């Protein structure tokens, strides 16, 4: 989660795109993935995301996200296979639980949809500073500053909470507690007690931030923007490509 939501500094062409264009790209690509039922189209979206990550210099960070999405997708695919018994039977996972051609095709499609829809969003967050995203939401999309600030702050705090959770787990390891285990049920039993100190520190952090915002006069008047976000030729080219992807998903169906 930390890797999915943390900005990576860079000066690539995709870093310099207008934040509004990157936000539209992530949203429209997500919609296109849910519209299309073509395995090839969804694979193409994934490959496009990997190419963009490579050009932007964040491929190493993005591959960690892709691996996490792949694991989640495989669990989703396996779960779907158990409840799709229709079609020609290939083999049996368990006695009385067949793997069919329709079940395999549909579960693979569901996995690809999930991966192709979420990967552009995570890549957009890697390539866009939070302050620029806030500016795009308030000045371009006309979202009230109060609500845009809540969304951006929630995204900004998730990596912080993830880092605090890592520190808590390291402290538990130094005390002799076993935290590294492959058993998912045992992993849940280990992590749940650690959520209590994380929750307490999160409440304290939120309270401190609320007091800080009140002392600075949060939302007491109109706000100005220090950095003006303009549009370039590359932004126009990017929006044309995004529209083409959406039209292609509708045409393929």
What secondary structure does DSSP assign to 75-88, as a single string? HHHHHHHTT---S-
Q: Report how far Cα 234 is from the mean position of its chain's Cα atoms.
A: 24
60-89, pLDDT tens digit by residue?
888 888 888 888 888 888 888 777 777 777
How confident is the model at residue 226, as a pLDDT? 64
Backbone dihedral region for residue 183 (phi beyond 0: left; psi -120 to 50: alpha; all else: beta): beta
- Distance separating alpha carbons of residues 132 and 124, to the nearest angstrom: 12
Q: Spell out the residues 6+ positions from residue 202 whose beta carbon is closer than 8 angstroms to its own.
A: 157, 161
- Distance separating alpha carbons of residues 91 and 150, to the nearest angstrom: 50
Chunked mean pLDDT (size 10), the chain, 253 residues:
67 86 90 88 91 87 84 83 76 74 82 88 85 79 79 76 76 72 69 76 78 73 65 86 89 79
Helices 145-174 and 184-215: crossing angle in degrees, nearest 10, is: 130
Half-sphere exposure of 4 (CA within 13 A, CB side): 15
Q: What is the pTM of this model?
A: 0.74
């Amino acid at each position: 989660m930390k890797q999915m939501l943390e900005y990576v500094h860079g000066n690539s062409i995709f870093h310099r795109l207008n934040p509004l264009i990157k936000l539209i790209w992530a949203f429209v690509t997500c919609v296109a993935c849910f519209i299309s039922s073509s395995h090839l189209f969804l694979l193409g979206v994934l490959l496009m995301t990997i190419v963009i990550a490579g050009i932007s210099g964040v491929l190493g960070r993005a591959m960690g996200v892709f691996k996490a999405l792949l694991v989640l997708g495989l669990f989703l695919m396996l779960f779907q296979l158990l409840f799709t018994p229709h079609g020609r039977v290939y083999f049996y996972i368990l006695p009385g639980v067949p793997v069919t051609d329709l079940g395999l095709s549909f579960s693979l499609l569901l996995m690809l949809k999930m991966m192709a829809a979420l990967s552009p969003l995570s890549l957009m967050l890697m390539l866009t500073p939070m302050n620029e995203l806030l500016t795009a939401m308030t000045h371009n999309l006309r979202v009230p500053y109060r609500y845009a600030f809540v969304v951006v702050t929630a995204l900004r705090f998730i990596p912080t909470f993830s880092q605090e959770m890592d520190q808590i787990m390291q402290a538990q390891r130094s005390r002799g507690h076993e935290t590294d285990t492959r058993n998912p049920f045992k992993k849940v039993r280990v992590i749940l007690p650690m959520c209590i100190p994380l929750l307490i520190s999160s409440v304290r952090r939120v309270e401190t931030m609320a007091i800080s915002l009140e002392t600075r006069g949060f939302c007491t008047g109109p706000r100005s923007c220090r950095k003006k976000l303009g549009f370039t030729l590359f932004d126009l080219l990017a929006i044309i490509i995004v529209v083409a992807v959406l039209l292609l998903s509708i045409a393929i169906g």
